[in-house]
């Protein structure tokens, strides 16, 4: 809820997420989908809208949509239809986008999002449909011309439409992160927002709590979570100010300007939104074999919610730690490798504390972590078997992170092995006690707090290498006399 001068308002948010399907070839043509190719080099005559070309659907893209639908706990429609959405724009050579209108491939579903206060909220998914992406226009290359690259034209997109179930920009951010996480677990979209693989149209309206929905504005094509949140906050404030100053919100399509963090109205002709959908006569309805859908259902990986539950149940992790570890598939897999055959809580502490801390500070993705799961595991083993102290381990980790080297090698090079031999420690302790005979008398006379002093002396005598636990045990025994 947004506080304002006169009253409090409720912000109502729905998102249309456009997720690029992970596939080698396009939805209806055999042209490649790789990001960053030379302009117009991944375009077939179908994608260019050449006359007489016929679309043939990519089976894998259909499978990806079904997989995503199942991952969103949604109904899979065994009968769906492709329609033409008609409009003119230079990056749409066909003059229409092949999409799905009244009969999408995936129907109603839902996802759970975790809010900052720990509350879990369900956000409804209205539908998911398959459609073609358009080409890309560059407006800043020439003073009077726009340049058009059709490489993206015809790439398969899944449009995932949410119910208007979100009430703040934070919830919208949590929703996008959850959708992205599910898509990545499923391997159906790489979720890369910088490259445009995941972008969202954001619908925002405001109302008095419990009242009727207000008039909404749609902010088009926002491509980062931070921008989505900024756009929502700006748009909510704008609408509240309009209403409170006695004006009405106009239903509009708006653009987000990341330079100013504001939204502005799109210069669009009023007729532009008459898309005159009709079934594409080039394509038969998409009819799915229920056995195929079942086969896909059975092949689904463990998804973040299930994995989190398992981490809590099997590994005894806290909800919070488990939530962090499962948010990304790569992270969860890394953690499981580290935890395998080891104390899972200790592994979680190392992964979340040292590793994530260093990755974040250096802006490195876990997939290119200089410390592999295997070597982090070895480092933990060195602590557990008392070869090195926990404090030295952190030092070794820093070296591992900057060099990618093996922990044992670093330990021997830096001479960090702990002294654990009982008789060696006993002789160290005896020497210390002999040198501090007066303090020993004070201790035995009841000055308990001198114990820490003796520990410090022994550690000093061992150049910090004595195992503190053994030192404590030996000191306790020898001080009794």
Query: Which residues lie near other proteins (CB under 8 A)?
Result: 23-25, 29-32, 38-46, 48, 56-62, 86, 88-90, 137-139, 141-142, 144-150, 255, 266-268, 271, 274, 276, 279, 283-287
Q: How far apart are CA 115 and CA 124, in angstroms?
A: 16
Q: Give least dist CB 299 to other proteins, A.
A: 16
Q: Give least dist CB 47 to other proteins, A.
A: 8
User: Which residue's CB is nearer to other proteins, number 195 or number 282?
Assistant: 282
Q: How far apart are CA 189 and CA 182, in angstroms?
A: 9
User: Which residue's CB is nearer to other proteins, number 54 or number 298?
Assistant: 54
User: Which residue's CB is nearer to other proteins, number 201 or number 321?
Assistant: 201
User: Which residue's CB is nearer to other proteins, number 23 or number 126?
Assistant: 23
Residue with tokens 């080409």: 135
The first and second tokens of residue 141, run together, are 């290359």
The first and second tokens of residue 94, run together, are 């066909």
User: Which residue's CB is nearer to other proteins, number 269 or number 449?
Assistant: 269
User: Which residue's CB is nearer to other proteins, number 43 or number 317?
Assistant: 43
Q: How far apart are CA 476 and CA 357, in angstroms?
A: 38
Q: State the sign of the Cα–Cα–Cα–Cα dihedral 235, 240, 246, 252.
A: positive
User: Which residue's CB is nearer to other proteins, number 187 or number 357?
Assistant: 187
Q: Give least dist CB 130 to other proteins, A.
A: 12
Using an 8 Å Cβ cutoff, are 350 and 380 in contact?
Answer: yes
Q: Give least dist CB 290 to other proteins, A.
A: 14
Q: Backbone phi, then psi, for 293, in 5-degree steps?
A: -60, -40
By three-state DSSP, how is residue 124 classified? strand
Q: Give least dist CB 182 to other proteins, A.
A: 21
User: Which residue's CB is nearer to other proteins, number 56 or number 300?
Assistant: 56
Using an 8 Å Cβ cutoff, are 389 and 365 in contact?
Answer: no
Using an 8 Å Cβ cutoff, are 389 and 468 in contact?
Answer: yes
Q: How far apart are CA 457 and CA 446, in angstroms?
A: 19
**Half-sphere exposure of residue 241, counting CA atoms within 13 Å on the CB side?**
6
Q: Give least dist CB 157 to other proteins, A.
A: 15
- In terms of Cα–Cα distance, which of 97, 136, 88 is closest to 269? 88
**Other Cβ atoms closer than 10 A to 67:** 22
By three-state DSSP, how is residue 205 classified? strand
Q: Give least dist CB 82 to other proteins, A.
A: 9
Q: Backbone phi, then psi, for 71, in 5-degree steps?
A: -65, -25
Q: Give least dist CB 149 to other proteins, A.
A: 6
């Amino acid at each position: 809820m947004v506080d304002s001068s006169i009253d409090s308002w409720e912000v109502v948010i729905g998102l249309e997420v456009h997720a690029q399907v992970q596939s080698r070839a396009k939805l209806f043509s055999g042209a490649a989908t790789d990001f960053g190719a030379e302009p117009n080099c991944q375009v077939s005559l179908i994608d260019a809208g050449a006359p007489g070309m016929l679309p043939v659907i990519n089976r894998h893209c259909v499978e990806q949509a079904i997989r995503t639908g199942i991952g969103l706990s949604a109904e899979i429609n065994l009968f769906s239809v492709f329609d033409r959405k008609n409009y003119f724009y230079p990056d749409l050579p066909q003059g229409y986008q092949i999409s799905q209108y009244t009969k999408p491939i995936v129907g109603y579903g839902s996802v759970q999002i975790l809010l900052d206060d720990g509350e879990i909220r369900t956000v409804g998914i209205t539908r998911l449909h398959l459609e073609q992406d358009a080409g890309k226009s560059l407006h800043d290359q020439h003073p009077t011309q726009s340049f058009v690259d059709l490489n993206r034209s015809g790439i398969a997109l899944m449009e995932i439409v949410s119910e208007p179930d979100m009430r703040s920009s934070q919830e919208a951010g949590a929703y996008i992160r959850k959708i992205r996480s599910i898509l990545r677990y499923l391997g159906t979209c790489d979720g890369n927002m910088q490259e445009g693989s995941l972008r969202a149209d954001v619908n925002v309206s405001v109302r008095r709590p419990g009242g009727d929905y207000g008039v909404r504005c749609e902010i088009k094509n926002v491509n980062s979570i931070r921008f989505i949140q900024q756009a929502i906050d700006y748009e909510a404030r704008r609408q509240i100010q309009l209403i409170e100053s006695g004006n009405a919100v106009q239903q509009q399509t708006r653009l987000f300007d990341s330079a100013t963090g504001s939204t502005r109205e799109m210069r669009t002709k009023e007729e532009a939104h008459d898309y005159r959908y009709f079934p594409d006569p080039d394509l038969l309805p998409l009819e799915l074999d229920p056995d195929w859908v079942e086969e896909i259902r059975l092949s689904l990986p463990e998804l973040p919610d299930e994995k989190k539950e398992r981490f809590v149940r099997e590994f005894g992790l806290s909800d919070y730690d488990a939530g962090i570890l499962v948010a990304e598939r790569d992270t969860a897999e890394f953690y499981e490798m580290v935890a395998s055959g080891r104390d899972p809580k200790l592994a979680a502490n190392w992964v979340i504390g040292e590793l994530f801390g260093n990755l974040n500070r250096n802006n490195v993705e876990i997939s290119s972590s200089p410390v592999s799961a295997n070597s982090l595991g070895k480092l933990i083993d060195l602590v557990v078997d008392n070869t090195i102290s926990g404090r030295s381990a952190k030092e070794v980790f820093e070296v591992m992170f900057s060099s990618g080297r093996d922990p044992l090698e670093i330990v021997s090079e830096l001479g960090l092995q702990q002294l654990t031999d009982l008789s060696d420690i006993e002789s160290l302790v005896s020497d210390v006690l002999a040198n501090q005979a007066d303090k020993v008398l004070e201790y035995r006379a009841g000055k308990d707090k001198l114990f820490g002093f003796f520990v410090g002396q022994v550690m000093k005598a061992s150049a910090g290498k004595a195992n503190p636990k053994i030192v404590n045990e030996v000191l306790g025994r020898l001080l009794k006399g």
